[in-house]
Copies of this chain bind each other. A is one copy, B any other.
Amino acid sequence: MKMVIAIVQDKDSNRLSHALVEANVRATKLASTGGFLKSGNTTFMIGIEDERVDGVMTLIKENCQSREQVMAPMSSMGGNADSYVPYPIEVQVGGATVFILPIDQFIQF
């Protein structure tokens, strides 16, 4: 049994939840903030049998991997002229930070 703690961007959180439920993996979600990125993120806490850890890693990778996304030019609404970008740009989105911790015991009441 392992404890998998995965911190993913809010953007990918629902998609990962859905994939975990379909794979019959029980996860608890904690609202979290921080890392270097300012955007909100979600911390998934997953207790899982050793032999299923790789499968969970694959699900996290498939649903949250860091990737480039083309962003449409943004109007300067609410910003100033300096921050206006008149052409589409590629931004990095997604990404997951995952810790696998040993568990001494797992109990359900």
Please list the residues of chain A having a beta carbon within 8 angstroms of any beta carbon in chain B.
2-3, 5, 7, 17, 21, 26-36, 41, 43, 45, 47, 57, 60-61, 64-66, 94-109
- What is the oligomeric copy number? 3
Q: Which residues of B contact A47 (CB under 8 A)?
A: 97, 99
Q: Please tell me if the beta carbons of B104 and A101 are within 8 angstroms of each other in the complex.
A: yes
Q: Which residues of B contact A57 (CB under 8 A)?
A: 107
Q: Which residues of B contact A2 (CB under 8 A)?
A: 104
Q: Please tell me if the beta carbons of B109 and A5 are within 8 angstroms of each other in the complex.
A: no
Q: Please tell me if the beta carbons of A109 and B64 are within 8 angstroms of each other in the complex.
A: yes
Q: Please tell me if the beta carbons of A61 and B100 are within 8 angstroms of each other in the complex.
A: no
Knowing A96-B108, A109-B61, A109-B98, the reply to whether A28 touches B3 (Cβ < 8 A) is: no
